[in-house]
Amino acid sequence: MDKNMAVILFNDSDPVFNRVVKLKFQRELNWDVKVTSSYDEAYNEFLATRPELFMTEIVLNDPEGRTGFDLIKALKDKGLKKTVVLSTLGQESDKKLAKELGVDHYFVKSEISLLQLLEELKLILGN
């Protein structure tokens, strides 16, 4: 792997969306994209890779009922830096909580295209 390649950890419970995101990010931006689909998988992958950017959905199919907010809280003590939420939830209360947790950007899936998201992420990472 190129040492200048950005490492992104993307967490979403939709396997089809995960594949699309991984291919698009790698193809368009040459990023090393790690994809996870659960709280535990994302937590462990974060510890293993220490990504430059962590992106998660809020609603996770978690048997213990944990959310992306819970995951962000848990990773704060583990060196979490740049964090982006890409969620189906667009309520102001969710955005407010994300801001209180130190999330850098909150995007609602229905309000942003994948190409727009790529452009935003380039700005966030300074690429």
Q: Which sequence spans correspond to the domains of the chain?
A: 7-125
Architecture of the CATH domain 7-125: 3-Layer(aba) Sandwich (3.40)
For residue 62, the number of C-alpha atoms closer than 13 Å in the C-beta half-sphere is 21
- Taking only the tens place, the pLDDT of each residue in 33-49 is 999 999 999 999 999 99
Of 38, 4, 11, 20, nearest to 118 by C-alpha is 20
- Taking only the tens place, the pLDDT of each residue in 80-115 is 989 999 999 999 999 999 999 999 999 999 999 999
Q: How confident is the model at residue 50 (pLDDT cuts 50, 70, 90)?
A: very high
Angle, helices 39-49/68-76, rounded to nearest 10 degrees: 30
- The whole-number pLDDT of residue 90 equals 93
Q: How many CB atoms are located within 10 Å of the residue 35 CB?
A: 19
pTM above 0.85, yes or no: yes
Q: Is the pLDDT of residue 2 over 70?
A: no
